[in-house]
Amino acid sequence: MIAVCEFCHKHGEGEKWYLQAQNYSEDLLSDLSRRRYIQDFFREPHKKEANIARLDDLNRLPAFVRSAVKPVIVNRQKKSHYGQVLPLEDIEEIFGFVNSIVRLPCVCRHVTVGSEQRYCYGISMEPGEETELGRLIESIGADYLTGPHTGGLESVPADKALEQFREMEKRGLIHTVWTFVTPFIGGICNCDLDCLAMRALSKSYRSMFRAEYVGEVDADLCNGCRACIKSCQFGAIRYSLAGEKVTIDPLKCYGCGICRIQCTKNAIFLRNRAEMPAAANLW
């Protein structure tokens, strides 16, 4: 079996699942239970925060209980709202076939930071500025989404959205793609520890797959400046005093690729995870 993530096998016939147009289809969005899920998702952000806080309680339980409970939680999440890290070049491919990109306030930051942070993008196959996904979100009527003191939904052309993603990379945010009742894909987000999914991950609960890639450093190009180290949210980049260069630990790397934007020497590149024996089956 080719080393790709579980969703690629289940929802992409062995190819990257998030590059399959059928996973963004209007047919999937017309499903009533999925529509209800999406409405509840935006209506009840504080419930999600409470769920993440409960993970601390679970982590205090004996190890044998944790090991029984964790897979149940993660599998339930995989069926409803699950994500994957992906690099900018794959987002560019997605933007090449979807017909609408809408920027909206981040539901996680609404509860964790308490302010509007426009880091999330709804994507749809439906052409035009007024999409069913947009209408569905607006119909929720949550103040932080549509109220008088928010920017509301904003249609963004693909090139401008990519520019915004690049800017967010410079600030250390990783890109993630999300299902809303799997396999329907409704959005791409820009994440750090203000995101509830990243908080779950930091508490050892899988909320997303690693990328289909792993970062690597070309030792011939690296000058040891260390500019890349701080950008890695996963602590995967190490500096060797002896070698005066950095290396990336494939067991820690999530393959987001954002460290590349900090490197003026173009010394960091992404390799397919399948080509890296140490990390090929690490999701």
- Chain contacts with ligand SF4 (rule: CB under 6 A): 215, 217, 222-228, 231-232, 234, 236-237, 246, 248, 253-259, 262-263, 265, 267-268
Closer Cβ to ligand SF4, 10 or 170, answer by number: 170
Asked whether the beta carbons of 33 and 80 are under 8 A apart, the reply is no
> Which of 114/277 has CB closer to ligand SF4?
277
> Of 41, 13, 32, which is closest to residue 187 (Cα–Cα)?
41
Longest dimension (CA), the chain: 60
102 CB-contact burial (10 Å; exposed 0-12 / middle 13-18 / buried 19+):
buried
Q: Tell me the closest approach of the beta carbon of residue 117 to ligand SF4, in angstroms.
A: 21
* Position 267, amino acid: A
> Would you say 5 or 111 has its CB closer to ligand SF4?
5
Give dist(CA 29, CA 22) in Å, integer: 11
Least distance CB 90 / ligand SF4 (angstroms): 13
Rounded Cα gap, residues 272 and 4, in angstroms: 9
d(Cα 237, Cα 252) in Å, to the nearest integer? 9
The Cα-based distances of 24 to 150, 156, 275 in angstroms read: 27, 18, 28
Angle at 197 between CA 236 and CA 194, to 5 degrees: 80
Between 70 and 226, name the residue whose CB sits nearer to ligand SF4: 226
Q: 162 or 225: whose CB is closer to ligand SF4?
A: 225
Asked if 101 and 121 count as a contact pair (C-beta separation under 8 A), the reply is yes
Residue whose CB is less far from ligand SF4, 37 or 234:
234
The least distance separating ligand SF4 from the CB of residue 25, rounded to whole angstroms, comes to 30
Least distance in Å: CB of 142 to ligand SF4? 32
Compare residues 11 and 245 and give the one whose CB is closer to ligand SF4.
245
C-beta of 269: minimal distance to ligand SF4 in Å?
10
Residue 192 is encoded by which pair of tokens? 């750090």
Q: How far is the CB of 235 from ligand SF4 (least distance, A)?
A: 8
- Nearest approach in angstroms of CB 223 to ligand SF4 is 5
